[in-house]
Structure 1
Amino acid sequence: MRIVCLVTNDLSHDQRMDRICSSLQAAGHAVTLVGRWLPESPPLPEKTYRQHRVRCRYNVGKRFYGEINWRLWRTVRNWDYDVICAVDLDSLLAGTLLHRPGTKLVYDAHEWFSETPEVAPRPLIRGTWRGLGRALVPRTDARYTVGPELAKMLETDYGVAFDTVRNVPRRGQYLNKENTGGVILYQGMLNPGRGLEVAIGAMQFLPDHALWIVGSGPERARLEELAAGMGIVDRVRFVGFQPPEKLPEFTLQAWLGINLLRADSQSYYYSLANKSLDYIQAHLPSIQMDYPEYRALHDRYQCFSLLPELSAPALAAQIRALAENPEAYRQLQTNCRLAAEELCWEREEAKLLAIYAGLTVD
C-alpha cells in the first residue's frame, strides 16, 4: 500500500514516526512522512522511506494550526495514496479532508490532545479540540495509541476502539553502559508540566549529583534562570536538542533517569513516555511518577522507582535512598535488563503491521 503519514512537528527528532515508517516500508509498503520545516530545522538524514517538509508562515497559535492543516492538504491532495495516517489531533482535519473514496484513514494518537497542559486549562480551546476529536475520530478506519491505559480513556472519550502500539526502542540500541556516578538524566521536550522545575529544585539537596537536561523547548530559558537563581548552574547542564542517533551517548553515561509529569494533565497522567521505555532498554534505573501506565509496568517487571508525590524534597529523598542502597539499585538494573527483552520494538512492530494488514483498500 501507498501510505502517507502526516505530522505537524519537525521530522528530525520524531523517533516514534521513524520506527513506524521504517517498519511499514520494510514490510513492503511505500511510505512518505510529511511534516514541518522550521528555521532551525537540521537537514534530514537519509531514510528508507520518503520525507517531505512543508513551510508555514505561522509557527504558534490558532493561525498555525489552521495553516499547517491547509498546507498538509494542499501538498498531498494530488498525490497517489491508499492510506492517510494522521498523527495526533492537530493533523486529523487535514487527514479527514484527504480521506477520499477508495482510501483508508488511520489515527495515531501520541497523546490525549485536548487534555495536555497547554490545552486543558483553557476551556474554549479545550472545548474546540474535544469537539473536533469527537466529530472526526469516529470517522477513521483504524486507531492506535501509545499505551493500554490511554487507549481506554480515548475509547471512552471518542466512543470507538483503540489498539496499542508502545513506543519502545529496538533491542541492542543501548550497549556498553558506562554508568557515570551521580548523573541524573532527563531527555525529551522542555514543555510545561514535565516536572523539570522540581528536578532542578531537588538538586539543592543533592550536592553529589549532576542533572543533565537533554532536549529543547519553550521552557528552557525559564529553567536556566531557575537554576541560576538557586546557584546550581555548575550541576545543571542544558545539553540542548540532540538527534535521535546521538541520544544513547548521554543515556549510557547516566546513573539514573527521571520522568516527572504533573497529574493535573490527564494526558500526562495516562501517558507512557518514550523516555521511560528508553531507560529500560538502556538498563538504566529510573524514577517515574506513580501513574497507571508506569504502575502497571512496575507491577509486572519491578523496573522503576515510583514517586508518589511531585515535589523537590520527595524526589531528592528518593534519589538519596537509591544512592545509599547499591543493592536495590543493582536489582533495578537487573529488572530493567529482563524487561528490555519484552519491551522492545521487535514485539510492538508486529502489532503495527497487523493493524495495517487489516485495512482493505478498494
Structure 2
Amino acid sequence: MIRICTSLAEAGYAVTLIGRRFTGSPALVTRPFKQKRLFCFFRTGKLSYLEYNLRLFLCLLFIKADGVCAIDLDTILPFYFISKLKGIPRVYDAHELFCEMKEVVTRPRIYKVWKWVERYAVPKFKHGYTVNKPIADEFKMMYRTEYEVIRNVPVWEPLEIPDKPEKFILFQGAVNEGRSFETLIPAMQYVNAPFVICGNGNFMIQAEFLASEYDTNHRIEFKGRILPAELKELTKKAWIGVTLFENNGLSNYYSLANRFFDYIHAGIPQLCVDYPAYREINNKYNIAVLTSDLRSEALAERLNELLNNKNLYYQLQQNCLQAREAINWQQEEKKLLAFYKNIL
C-alpha cells in the first residue's frame, strides 16, 4: 500500500491511508500522504472484524473524499456504504481471493459469512484491480467484473550485492495458515543454515510451538514485524528467500505474493511453489527453484541444493538481476495512474 499511496500522492492526489493500530505497532514513518491508525479493543475473532468495520465507517464518515478504495474483502462493506452515502466512486483492490484462503475455506460457517459479503459487495464495485490475471479472471467469471491487473512489485533502485558471511534463509510476510510452516519448520532439522522469519499473523503461536516440538529453536529466529526499511536491508543480506503456499484453495493456488518480487529485487534466489503465476514468471526469467512437493524432506532437499550448488545459485542470482530490470514499480505505476485518471 505504501507504493500505491506514494505514487498517487506524487501524481497530485491527496491520499489518506487508514489501518489498524496494534500493541507494539512500529511508529509511523513520514510519507507524502496522510496516515491514520484505528485502535480496536478486540484484537482477534469475529468481534474484532465487527469493531474495525464500524470504526472504519465512522472514520470515513468524517473524511472528505472524491473517491474511496477498499483493500480486500474484510474492509469492503464500510467503503461501499460510504461511497453510496456520499455519491463518490469506489474501487476494490483485491490482493487475493479472500474466501479461498485456508483460514476461511476450511471453516464452513466463516466461509458462508464471507462468501455472502463477497456476493453482496463485489458486483457493486465496477472499478477494481488485482495482482494477476488468474484472479481477475475468477472475479470476471463469478461477478462479471472487468478488473485491471496491477502487480505490487518493488520500485527499481540500483543494487549492490553485499558480502554475505552467513548463509541464512528468509521468510518475510504474514505468518498465517496455509504458508506451509507445518512442513517448512520441521524441514529445518535437515538444513544447516539459520532461518529468519519476519512478520506476524494467525499462525505465529503454532509456528513457535512447531520450532520447539521439532527442536529447531536454535536455527529459527522469529523477528516479528519490522519496519520496511529494515526488512529491505535484511532481505539483501539473505542467501535464500521462501515463497510457499499450501494448495488448499484458489487463493493460494492463484497467489502472487509481494515477497516473491522482493526477493527478486534483492537479488536472492528463492524456493517457491510451482503454481501458475510463479511458474509463468520463472519460465521467462528462471529466478527460483520451484517445487510442487511440500513435504519436509523435499523442502530440505531443495533448500540444501540452493545452499550447496554454487553454479545453480549464482546463475539464479544473475537472472534475478536481469528480471528486476523488467519487473518493477516504475512499469506498474503507469497502469495505476491511468486507472485512477479514468475514474476521478
Structure 2 length normalisation: TM-score?
Answer: 0.95
Aligned equivalent of 2:228: 244
1:336 and 2:320 correspond: yes
- The answer to whether the 8 A contact 1:212-1:237 is kept is yes
Most deviating of 181-190 and 17-26: 181-190
Counterparts of 2:163 and 2:259 in 1: how far apart (Å)?
18
Structure 1 unmatched runs, 5+: 1-16
Aligned equivalent of 1:140: 125
Counterparts of 1:249 and 1:80 in 2: how far apart (Å)?
37
1:57 and 2:41 correspond: yes
Instruction: Please give the secondary structure, in 1, of the residue aligned with 2:196.
Output: strand
Q: 1:251-266 counterparts in 2 under 5 A? A: 251-266=235-250
Aligned equivalent of 1:290: 274
Most deviating of 56-65 and 110-119: 56-65
Counterparts of 1:180 and 1:300 in 2: how far apart (Å)?
31
Q: 1:218 to 1:140 in 2, by over 3 A?
A: closer
- The answer to whether the 8 A contact 2:49-2:74 is kept is yes
- The one-letter amino acid of 1:24's match is L
- The one-letter amino acid of 1:258's match is V
Match of 1:234 among 214, 218, 225: 218
Aligned equivalent of 1:348: 332
- The answer to whether the 8 A contact 2:68-2:91 is kept is yes
Counterparts of 1:39 and 1:256 in 2: how far apart (Å)?
31
Aligned equivalent of 1:306: 290
1:197 and 2:182 correspond: yes
Aligned equivalent of 2:153: 168
Counterparts of 1:173 and 1:97 in 2: how far apart (Å)?
43
- The answer to whether the 8 A contact 1:180-1:255 is kept is no
- What do the CA deviations read for 1:103-147 (whole angstroms, capped 9, x no partner)? 100000111111111111112221221222122112113110112
1:222 and 2:210 correspond: no
Counterparts of 1:321 and 1:106 in 2: how far apart (Å)?
44
Q: Percent identity?
A: 38
- What do the CA deviations read for 1:175-206 (whole angstroms, capped 9, x no partner)? 44334443111111111111123222111112
Counterparts of 1:313 and 1:254 in 2: how far apart (Å)?
22
Instruction: Please give the secondary structure, in 2, of the residue aligned with 1:119.
Output: helix
The Cα shift of 1:325 comes to 2.3
1:23 and 2:4 correspond: no
Instruction: Please give the secondary structure, in 2, of the residue aligned with 1:218.
Output: coil
Aligned equivalent of 1:182: 167
Structure 1 length normalisation: TM-score?
Answer: 0.90
- The answer to whether the 8 A contact 2:240-2:306 is kept is no
- The one-letter amino acid of 1:61's match is G
Counterparts of 2:158 and 2:136 in 1: how far apart (Å)?
27
1:119 and 2:104 correspond: yes
The Cα shift of 1:323 comes to 3.2
Counterparts of 1:240 and 1:81 in 2: how far apart (Å)?
34
- The answer to whether the 8 A contact 2:180-2:294 is kept is yes
Aligned equivalent of 2:94: 109
Counterparts of 1:291 and 1:142 in 2: how far apart (Å)?
27
Counterparts of 2:241 and 2:117 in 1: how far apart (Å)?
36
The Cα shift of 1:173 comes to 6.9
Instruction: Please give the secondary structure, in 2, of the residue aligned with 1:341.
Output: helix
Aligned length: 343
Structure 2 unmatched runs, 5+: none
1:33 and 2:32 correspond: no
Counterparts of 1:298 and 1:176 in 2: how far apart (Å)?
21
Q: 1:180 to 1:115 in 2, by over 3 A?
A: farther
- The answer to whether the 8 A contact 2:235-2:263 is kept is yes
Match of 1:69 among 43, 47, 53: 53
Counterparts of 1:34 and 1:205 in 2: how far apart (Å)?
43
Counterparts of 2:87 and 2:130 in 1: how far apart (Å)?
25
Instruction: Please give the secondary structure, in 2, of the residue aligned with 1:28.
Output: coil
